[in-house]
Structure 1
Amino acid sequence: MTAHISALDLEEAGAVLAAESARFAAFGWMRGTSGNLSVVLTRDPLRLAVTASGHDKGELKPADVVLVDGKGAAVHGGRPSAEAELHARVAALTGAGAVVHVHTVASVAMGHRHPGGIVFKDVEMLKGVGQPAHDVEVTLPVIANSQDMKVLGDRLEAAREPRMPAVVVAGHGLYVWGDTPRQARHHTEVVEWLLELELTRR
């Protein structure tokens, strides 16, 4: 495979991503074959396991992942998600160990309503992304969509709010990250909860 990553390493990462994908699919956040997840396997050189393209995310098997490099290009396995390049960009930019991309109604609706960013304040759930529950405003950035992952990555880098481990891509969905797949999952659930709250308030 590579000098640092064995077939067993990739299979173990695939098992983790399959379990996480099944959880998100059960919430209705990865309908059809939409969405993708990744986990960093090595940092130098940057290598990620990314869910393979075209698979039902509620039915993934440990083998349904692709090893990609720091540009999102396949190193081993089948065809990665078209957005693998953005996963690699987020991992390099933020130091994240895992990235989640889901297509939720709340993220698309709120991104449409607030193209300049979605502000959260005085909500206890902000603690779930490491922020105070009161007296601090935290903005979830919203960026315009693009089919060019280099362009999209540049927009994400320019808009990123270091206190918020997430960004909304307008008309598309939500990208969230964390140090581990478990933390990325928790961040995703918290940010989606915040979005759903703001959506119901209006």
Structure 2
Amino acid sequence: MTGATATGTPETAGWGRTLVAEAARFAALGWMRGTSGNLSVVTGRDPLRLLVTASGLDKGELGPKDTVLVDEEGGAVEGTAAAGKPSAEAALHARVVRLTGAGAVVHVHTVASVAMGHRRPGGIAFRDLEMLKGIGRAAHDEEVVLPVIANSQDMRTLGDRLEAALNPRVPAVVVAGHGLYTWGTDLREARRHTEVVEWLLELELAQERGR
């Protein structure tokens, strides 16, 4: 699919269907309960445009039109026929894209990410696990640190914290008391990174409970 510049174009409609399918997948896993979480995909780079899931909706029941086209600051693009409004967190999605060059961003509210964010505010270290290959790291003899940042309702402040903590070798960050952000070159890669990082967090949480 090629880039789009306005909601309702065939290209954006295609991205909307893809976002809905991915949201339903994560909701079925229990990672986007209630109306929590959001997904985005880059539809254009010059100027930067992202299609994001609309705010306040059950992510397991979205339709292809329940998406919003936003600009480089996360604001709804004027003149587009959005079915809802973007979450304030769309601004953080846009910030992640600008910082990393990602093509898609996933934000989920999982128990393991919230719990481990509280337990390891300085970062969560992993090593000697085959699953690390799923985020492009070595399975052995390498320590991989997943950054953890403090939460804020101010997306500029939260974005500054993310930028300061960003590990260019890890496509994810935990927001303490909030959830997990991951990204990738496209939605498929972002989904894989989300699944791998969540697995690592669940394992670490289970091991802590067993100690």
Q: Give unpaired runs (5+ residues) of structure 2.
A: none
Alignment-derived partner of residue 111 in structure 1: 117
Alignment-derived partner of residue 85 in structure 1: 91
Measured in 2, the distance between the counterparts of 1:74 and 1:14 equals 15
Which of residues 94, 100, 103 is equivalent to 1:97? 103
Amino acid at match of 2:56: G
1:4: how far off?
4.1
TM-score by length of structure 1 reads: 0.97
Alignment-derived partner of residue 155 in structure 2: 149
Alignment-derived partner of residue 37 in structure 1: 39
Report SS of the residue matched to 2:152.
coil
Alignment-derived partner of residue 204 in structure 2: 198
- Pairwise CA RMSD of aligned residues? 1.2
Misfit runs of 4+, over 2 Å: 2-6
Residue correspondence of structure 1 range 157-172 to structure 2 within 5 A: 157-172=163-178
Report the number of matched residues: 201
Q: Give unpaired runs (5+ residues) of structure 1.
A: none
Measured in 2, the distance between the counterparts of 1:197 and 1:110 equals 10
Alignment-derived partner of residue 49 in structure 1: 51
TM-score by length of structure 2 reads: 0.93
Identity %: 73
1:3: how far off?
8.0
Measured in 2, the distance between the counterparts of 1:3 and 1:135 equals 43
